[in-house]
Amino acid sequence: NAGVTQTPKFQVLKTGQSMTLQCAQDMNHEYMSWYRQDPGMGLRLIHYSVGAGITDQGEVPNGYNVSRSTTEDFPLRLLSAAPSQTSVYFCASSWDNSGTGILFFGSGTQLSVL
Protein backbone atom coordinates (compact mmCIF):
# COMPACT_ATOMS: atom_id res chain seq x y z
CA ASN A 1 0.00 0.00 0.00
CA ALA A 2 1.85 3.12 -1.25
CA GLY A 3 -0.42 5.74 0.41
CA VAL A 4 0.34 9.24 -0.91
CA THR A 5 3.15 9.43 -3.46
CA GLN A 6 4.82 12.68 -4.45
CA THR A 7 7.32 13.27 -7.21
CA PRO A 8 9.90 14.64 -7.56
CA LYS A 9 11.55 14.73 -4.11
CA PHE A 10 13.85 17.59 -5.05
CA GLN A 11 13.69 20.20 -7.79
CA VAL A 12 15.67 23.30 -8.70
CA LEU A 13 14.10 25.83 -11.05
CA LYS A 14 15.12 29.13 -12.53
CA THR A 15 12.87 32.13 -12.13
CA GLY A 16 10.15 32.07 -14.75
CA GLN A 17 10.25 28.34 -15.43
CA SER A 18 7.14 26.23 -15.08
CA MET A 19 6.76 22.78 -13.63
CA THR A 20 4.26 20.31 -12.23
CA LEU A 21 4.51 18.58 -8.87
CA GLN A 22 2.82 15.20 -9.01
CA CYS A 23 0.68 13.66 -6.27
CA ALA A 24 -1.11 10.34 -6.36
CA GLN A 25 -2.94 8.35 -3.70
CA ASP A 26 -4.18 4.77 -3.80
CA MET A 27 -6.56 4.92 -0.83
CA ASN A 28 -9.63 6.07 -2.79
CA HIS A 29 -9.72 9.31 -0.81
CA GLU A 30 -12.06 11.98 -2.09
CA TYR A 31 -10.21 14.84 -0.38
CA MET A 32 -6.77 15.93 -1.58
CA SER A 33 -4.77 19.05 -0.82
CA TRP A 34 -1.48 20.84 -1.28
CA TYR A 35 0.40 22.60 1.53
CA ARG A 36 3.61 24.54 1.55
CA GLN A 37 5.91 24.53 4.56
CA ASP A 38 8.26 27.41 5.21
CA PRO A 39 10.51 27.82 8.27
CA GLY A 40 8.55 29.30 11.16
CA MET A 41 5.33 29.46 9.12
CA GLY A 42 3.78 26.06 9.70
CA LEU A 43 1.76 24.41 6.97
CA ARG A 44 -0.25 26.69 4.71
CA LEU A 45 -2.97 25.41 2.41
CA ILE A 46 -2.52 26.22 -1.28
CA HIS A 47 -5.40 24.42 -3.01
CA TYR A 48 -7.68 21.54 -2.19
CA SER A 49 -10.19 19.23 -3.84
CA VAL A 50 -13.18 17.37 -2.42
CA GLY A 51 -13.56 15.11 -5.45
CA ALA A 52 -12.81 14.64 -9.12
CA GLY A 53 -13.64 17.78 -11.08
CA ILE A 54 -13.85 19.98 -7.94
CA THR A 55 -11.06 22.27 -6.75
CA ASP A 56 -10.91 25.33 -4.53
CA GLN A 57 -8.40 27.83 -3.21
CA GLY A 58 -6.74 27.72 0.18
CA GLU A 59 -4.82 30.40 2.08
CA VAL A 60 -1.99 30.98 -0.43
CA PRO A 61 -3.20 30.07 -3.95
CA ASN A 62 -1.48 32.79 -6.01
CA GLY A 63 1.01 31.45 -8.54
CA TYR A 64 -0.34 27.90 -8.43
CA ASN A 65 -2.90 25.96 -10.43
CA VAL A 66 -4.46 22.57 -9.78
CA SER A 67 -6.79 20.16 -11.51
CA ARG A 68 -8.47 16.94 -10.42
CA SER A 69 -9.39 14.79 -13.39
CA THR A 70 -9.29 11.51 -11.43
CA THR A 71 -9.80 10.53 -7.79
CA GLU A 72 -6.19 9.33 -7.59
CA ASP A 73 -4.21 12.29 -8.96
CA PHE A 74 -3.91 15.92 -7.89
CA PRO A 75 -1.04 17.73 -9.64
CA LEU A 76 0.16 21.19 -8.62
CA ARG A 77 1.38 23.49 -11.38
CA LEU A 78 3.72 26.43 -10.96
CA LEU A 79 3.10 28.62 -13.99
CA SER A 80 6.08 30.99 -13.69
CA ALA A 81 8.30 30.13 -10.74
CA ALA A 82 9.44 32.88 -8.39
CA PRO A 83 12.04 32.79 -5.58
CA SER A 84 9.17 33.29 -3.09
CA GLN A 85 7.94 29.83 -4.07
CA THR A 86 11.07 28.18 -2.66
CA SER A 87 9.57 25.85 -0.08
CA VAL A 88 8.78 22.28 0.86
CA TYR A 89 5.51 21.15 -0.67
CA PHE A 90 3.32 18.44 0.84
CA CYS A 91 0.38 16.73 -0.73
CA ALA A 92 -2.18 15.25 1.67
CA SER A 93 -5.35 13.22 1.34
CA SER A 94 -8.22 12.18 3.58
CA TRP A 95 -11.33 10.02 3.36
CA ASP A 96 -13.27 12.83 5.02
CA ASN A 97 -14.35 15.89 3.01
CA SER A 98 -15.60 17.78 6.04
CA GLY A 99 -12.16 18.80 7.28
CA THR A 100 -12.43 16.55 10.30
CA GLY A 101 -10.58 13.48 9.13
CA ILE A 102 -7.00 12.34 9.40
CA LEU A 103 -4.70 13.83 6.78
CA PHE A 104 -2.22 11.42 5.19
CA PHE A 105 0.78 13.31 3.90
CA GLY A 106 3.16 12.49 1.09
CA SER A 107 6.91 12.59 1.68
CA GLY A 108 7.26 16.12 0.33
CA THR A 109 8.97 17.94 -2.53
CA GLN A 110 11.77 20.34 -1.75
CA LEU A 111 11.69 23.10 -4.36
CA SER A 112 14.32 25.79 -4.86
CA VAL A 113 13.74 28.67 -7.25
CA LEU A 114 16.88 30.59 -8.18
SS3 state at 83 = helix
Residue 81 binds another protein (CB under 8 A): no
Of residues 23, 24, 50, 76, which one binds another protein by CB under 8 A? 50
Residue 42 binds another protein (CB under 8 A): yes
| Contact stretch for another protein (CB under 8 A) within 17-25, 65-73, 78-86, 103-111 | 103-111
CA dist list (Å): 101 to 3, 30, 54, 87, 107: 15, 11, 19, 25, 19
CB atoms within 10 A of CB 40: 4
Residue 89 binds another protein (CB under 8 A): no
| Contact stretch for another protein (CB under 8 A) within 11-19, 20-28, 29-37, 60-68 | 29-37
Give the CA-trace dihedral at 13, 48, 1, 37, to 10 degrees: 50
| Contact stretch for another protein (CB under 8 A) within 16-24, 67-75, 78-86, 96-104 | 96-104
- Is 91 within 8 Å of 32 (Cβ atoms)? yes
Residue 48 binds another protein (CB under 8 A): yes
